[in-house]
Structure 1
Amino acid sequence: MKRILILFVLAGSMLSACNKFLETKPEDFVTPDNYYNTEADLDRALNGVYNRLVDNFGRMYSRGLFSFLSISDEFFYKNITITNLKVMDFDAGQLDVGKLWEVAYQGIDRANILLENVDKPKMDETRRKAIKGEALFLRAYFYFVLVDNFGGVPLKLKSTNNPLEKYLPRASVADVYASIVNDMKGADTLVSDISSYNYNERVTKTAVEAVLARVYLTMAGEPLKDVARYNDALIYADKVINSGKHNLNPDYSRIFINHSENKYDLQECIWEIGMYGNQLGNTQLAGAVGIENGVECTDDKIGYSTGPLKITARMFNLYAATDLRRDWAIAPYKYVTNTTTGVTTKTPYTAVQIYDRTVGKWRREYETVTPKNRNYNSTNFPVIRYSDVLLMKAEAETQVSGAPTAAAYDAVNKVRRRGYGKPINTPDATVDAPAGLDKADFLTYLQDERARELAFEGLRKHDLIRWGLYLSKMQSLAVDISTNAPSGFRYGANAAKNITARNLVFPIPNTEITVNHLVTQNPNW
């Protein structure tokens, strides 16, 4: 990570990170009995919890949660046709699914250990509260990742002290969410304000509130359908908006250029996962943002990417031609290197080359860390942005009111105006959402707007599932690609063809089922 970085080892768990500007040496092996005696000890332990959000092997936000673990109707993988998670052809023994489970529980156990020892040292109480709050939130967030992807999971709120401890059965989805909400609401009273930092990799008050709005919206949808939670989502979205701490960046592309340039935007990006370095030194906390989901390029100086994520025509056609977000989220060009001269040229796609295009949100040409590694970089990933909060407000407000209100329209239109390069706070009939929509039509419009604004940010699958639309959208996508795509790209329908009702959640990993006989498997896996 750029700021929240250490090299730290705790008995039973390797916790690794590093400082963006100051690398530290590895610590000796320690145990809770002889550790957690100083504020610095707590800071290092907390950084070890954050560390699991990166994961060296790419199953969290360094790669998987915005790519192969989030297959939706936005993209398909280039040249992968069968027997692969990337085309949804896998079983409960799939390694990446198992590692997602494992890494999330590592983060939970680290948070549990920290919370059990947070009161040990003599230190500034404000800082102690902030550390406790961040640990509570992170524990809850790891559970949110788990319940969102696996359904009900064992709810472990104490650290592992003995390998012979009894295993736990799966808690219900409702009970997991109750724990998540309890921890996040507790964190909201403890963490620091974002104005306390000049970077956004720490969990701060508005980050907690923004994610809580997302959690409540999820609870209101599938599978819980706890519609009373729409009101809670509205309350927490409004807390972020009314805080005055955030605003839309007037330049949509600049959000993602900032990530590549290692610059912070605390107004738009409420919470980011920090990556560090390029995996060429001792520090192993780099990611693959802009590589796994990058512009096709074989020139290492510009920034190598095979362009593995090909976009669907459905995604491309959601945008109007005048929507500036289209040709930023979706690359309008690739880099072609002449094998004879070695000269690399930016080559635009033609109007008919829709399926040739790749994700373009994070472009390696803007990266500042050199030399550029082919597989890793230091580009941060945004977990939640202010535009997402505005769109969540519009959705929750409409659900609570029973019809789209002026406030809901205003929230959506601010996002749309920015997308078209218009003044954010000035009504503009050429781009604003159509007036007079009823509830159903407005929510459908809003669903498309979320797709346009948050494309390729790991949220589309999540949204479709909570709206109860994932299966129907993927089934229609399979027909669309099989019928209308150029023949050379019709394999892009394979992932959608493989999706059935079982794919609303991942299987509980075989590694867990084998050792914990109290855990039951998800249906049809």
Structure 2
Amino acid sequence: MKLSIIHKNIVKPICMLVLLTSVFSCKKYLTNDPVSSFAPEYVFSDVVNAQKAVLGAYACLAGDQGYGIRISMYYSYDDDLMMGQGSTPYPDNERRDIAHYNVTASNTQLAAPFLQLYAGVERANLCIYYIPKMALYSSGSEQQKKDLKRLHGEALTLRAQFYLELLRNWGDLPAQYEPAFQVADLYQPKTDRDSIYNHLLDDLALAETLVPWRTEVSKDERITQGAVRGLRARIALFRGGYSLRRASSSYGQTMARPADYKTYYQIAKDECAAIMQREDQHKLNSSFRSVFKDAICAKAIEPNGEVLFEVSMDGGTSALGDSKLGYYNGPRTNSKGNAALTVLPSYFYMYDSTDTRRDVMIAPYDLSATLTYTGRAGQSLVDGKFRRDWILSGTDLVNSAAQYFGVNWPILRYSDVLLMYAEADNELGGAPSATAIAALEKVRTRAYGGNASLIGTTPTDYTGFFNAIVKERALELGGEGIRKYDLIRWNLLSTRLAAVKTQLTAMAGRAAPWNNYPAKMYYKTASTSLLWAGSFYDAGSSTTPSGYTSVNWLSPSITTTISTYYAIAFQNNHSELLPIPQTVLDSYSGILKQDYGY
């Protein structure tokens, strides 16, 4: 059963415990009247109601303030692959300022996602507190005990996901592991993120013992053991990676990683290895395109278990529980859709001509009202993994003015597990093992349609293999809200943004080697197939072929439409984190401090 079916029926159970109260329970947030007066004794009296309470925690992942748009498509840009919404107005004290690193504490897009993440923490805290205390947890039937232990493990995992998102966007923050009613003083100062990460790693080690593997339960979008282990690996890499530290810390305000970072790379390696050993549970789909077109965009569960963890969207055209994937981003149809995220031309040329992922990741077109193709220029390419024309069809595709399509957001895929394993192994051994090389090559081979002869030679030295991982994660995981945070934990964000700016300038001016690439491309006019004349990888002809229309490809327009905005206000040792929303600081009356130069 899809979680989205359940989501529509969880409003009362969510509110039974006034779960909307966040950690920041100042008077402003406590004035909301509870929708229901049901007590915890009722909510946590049986498995059915306990499940509804846990689903209430899941719900905080979704909607406009969650992975429906803001966390997934505002906060994760600009990176070295894509640019958040450009054009005017800029500055806007909104999404453009976030993307281009011009953000301040008063930005209107910060407070609601911040509070929703903490609301998720509180909902999970309530479940973690009450479920193990239920009589059925220890003395129920075997099935009841299994069900409740799974719910306990799911709540621990959800709390870890909420905290990970908070920490990688805002750095050190107040930590709370008990429900608000158990805490004497809700206004706590910041906790060092390493301490929080350690707590989450312990939580997830426990959750692994509670949550079943994917095939041991009915297929839906609930968390199973592969998701727990994969998330633990990801958190371990953040714990061991670089992050921007406070001026008052032992590091000073700088990008730094802990001296014992390899301890956490070992955790990541071990967790990924445990998943890799269970190909009966999780493996790659043989087709990269199919993961997105036939599963995620088709609103179906990926049959191979490649998607380990995804945010279930309810499909109810709701800002609270749905997503704007395919509306805010991707190509337009009949002038509908925002096409707000721009794929950088430099990213297009990270792919070679035979990599099948390029035309999944990058959509260089729009569709007309008659579903004929219009080619996009090189400076206005859009992302394609969550494209409107894979989600809708027929008259809906042409005419629908809807903004919400019920498309799930993938948090973790199996290819990411393989690449995390390869990265951790290389870091620990000083060079990649045969298993690490095989893990990387498995991802690359799938990208080339299963033809291993096309993947090239994999480096066997530490630096060469690390650089191969950096590139492969770009090619495989672009547009999935991962890249910016990868660059931060590698301490490469500043370097990569600067390098791309230089590359874009060279492309716009057609400096060598870009003088050997096309200044214009030509698409077939009024065609129901996207047909290009010539190659993207040589200079080609300057004459428009008969029956084709030209678009600028590598041209000076890159400067005016991309370089004017792209990461324009980025500052090293500052912009790697967001400021705490001003409304939250105000509610804390000076107890919670702003850091990182904001």
- Whether these two folds match at TM > 0.5 is yes
Indicate yes or no: 2:576 matched with 1:504: yes
Equivalent of 2:11 in 7, 12, 21: 7
Q: Is the 8 A contact 2:242 2:490 kept in 1?
A: yes
Q: How far 1:163 sits from its partner (Å)?
A: 9.7
1:93 aligns with 2:116: no
Distance in 2 between residues matched to 1:321 and 1:479, nearest whole Å = 23
What is residue 157 of structure 1 aligned with on the other side? 177
Residue number in structure 2 paired with 1:362: 386
TM-score (norm 2): 0.78
Does the C-alpha gap of structure 1 residues 154 and 404 become closer, same or farther in structure 2, counting only changes over 3 Å? same
Q: Is the 8 A contact 1:233 1:396 kept in 2?
A: yes
Alpha carbons of structure 1 residues 515 and 194: separation in structure 2 relative to 1, 3 Å: same
**Superposition pairs of residues 116-195 of structure 1, within 5 angstroms:** 116-118=129-131, 119-120=133-134, 122=136, 123=140, 124-161=144-181, 165-195=185-215
Q: Secondary structure at the match of 2:180?
A: coil
2 CA distance for matches of 1:85 and 1:318? 25
How far is the alpha carbon of 1:364 from its aligned partner?
Answer: 2.0
Which whole-Å CA distance do the structure 1 matches of 2:175 and 2:203 have between them? 13
| 1:227 aligned partner | 262
Match of 1:462 in 2: 485
After superposition, give the CA deviation of every residue in 1:452-474 in whole Å (9 maximum; x if it has no partner).
00010000001000000011111
**Counterpart in the other structure of 1:18:** none
Question: Aligned partners of 2:334, 2:338: CA distance in 1, in Å?
Answer: 7
Instruction: Give how far 1:437 is off.
Output: 3.6
Distance 1:295 1:512, change over 3 A: same
* Identical positions, percent: 26
**2:431 counterpart SS class:** coil
Structure 1 residue aligned with 2:325: 289
Structure 1 residues 182 and 3 mapped into 2: Cα distance closer, same or farther (>3 Å)?
farther
Q: Secondary structure at the match of 1:52?
A: helix
Cα drift, residue 4 of structure 1: 4.6
CA contact (8 A) 1:200 1:270 kept: no
Q: Aligned ranges for residues 25-424 of structure 1 at < 5 Å? A: 28-54=36-62, 56=63, 58-71=64-77, 72-76=79-83, 77-80=85-88, 82-83=90-91, 84-118=97-131, 119-120=133-134, 122=136, 123=140, 124-161=144-181, 165-223=185-243, 224-225=257-258, 226-244=261-279, 245-257=281-293, 258-265=295-302, 266-279=304-317, 284-298=320-334, 304-337=336-369, 343-349=370-376, 353-367=377-391, 372-422=400-450
Supply the AA of the counterpart residue of 1:279: T
- Give yes or no for contact 1:200–1:269 (8 Å, CA) kept in 2: no
RMSD over aligned CA atoms reads 2.3
On the 8 A contact 1:295/1:305 being kept in 2, the answer is yes
What is the alpha-carbon distance in structure 1 between the residues aligned to residue 178 and residue 149 of structure 2? Answer: 19
**Residue identity matched to 1:250:** S
Counterpart CA distance in 2 for 1:327 and 1:468 is: 29
Query: CA deviation digits over 1:426-453, x for unaligned, max 9?
Result: xx23214x24542101101110000000
Q: 1:133 and 1:354 mapped to 2: Cα distance?
A: 47
Which amino acid is the alignment partner of residue 388 of structure 2?
A: R
Task: Describe the SS at the equivalent of 2:575.
Answer: helix
Q: What SS does the aligned partner of 2:374 have?
A: strand
Q: Retained in 2: the 8 A contact 1:10–1:31? A: yes
Q: Which amino acid aligns with 1:260?
A: C
Q: Provide the rounded CA distance (Å) in 2 between the counterparts of 1:162 and 1:393.
A: 39
Deviation string 1:375-404 (CA, Å, 9 cap, x unpaired) is 111111111111111111111111111112
How has the CA–CA distance of structure 1 residues 450 and 166 changed in structure 2, closer, same or farther, with 3 Å as cutoff?
closer
Residue type at the aligned position of 2:171: G
Q: Is the 8 A contact 2:317 2:402 kept in 1?
A: no
Deviations 1:280-299 (A, max 9, x none): 7xx94221122222112236
The one-letter code matched in structure 2 to 1:462 is: Y
Equivalent pair of 1:249/1:268 in contact (CA under 8 Å): yes
* Runs of at least 5 residues in structure 2 that lack an aligned partner in the other structure: 22-33, 92-96, 244-256, 509-554
Q: Which residue of 2 aligns with 1:19?
A: none
Aligned partners of 1:91, 1:495: CA distance in 2, in Å? 17
Measured in 1, the distance between the counterparts of 2:134 and 2:392 equals 41
Give the structure with higher Rg (CA).
Answer: 2
CA distance in 2, matches of 1:418, 1:361: 16
Q: Distance in 1 between matches of 2:433 and 2:185?
A: 53
Contact 1:478 1:497 in 2 (8 A): no
SS at match of 1:228: helix
Provide the secondary structure at the position in 2 that maps to 1:92.
coil
- Classify 1:200/1:471 alpha carbon distance in 2 versus 1 (closer, same or farther; 3 Å): farther
Q: Quote how far apart the aligned CAs of 1:198 are.
A: 4.3
Query: In structure 1, the residue corresponding to 2:155 is in which secondary structure?
Result: helix
The residue type paired with residue 123 of structure 2 is R
Name the TM-score, length of structure 1 as normaliser: 0.89
Query: Partners in 1 of 2:68 and 2:135 — Cα distance?
Result: 33
- Residues of 1 paired with 2:51 and 2:401: CA distance? 30
* CA contact 1:36–1:121 (8 Å) conserved in 2: no
Name the aligned partner's letter for residue 299 of structure 2.
N
Provide the aligned length of Structure 1 versus Structure 2. Answer: 494
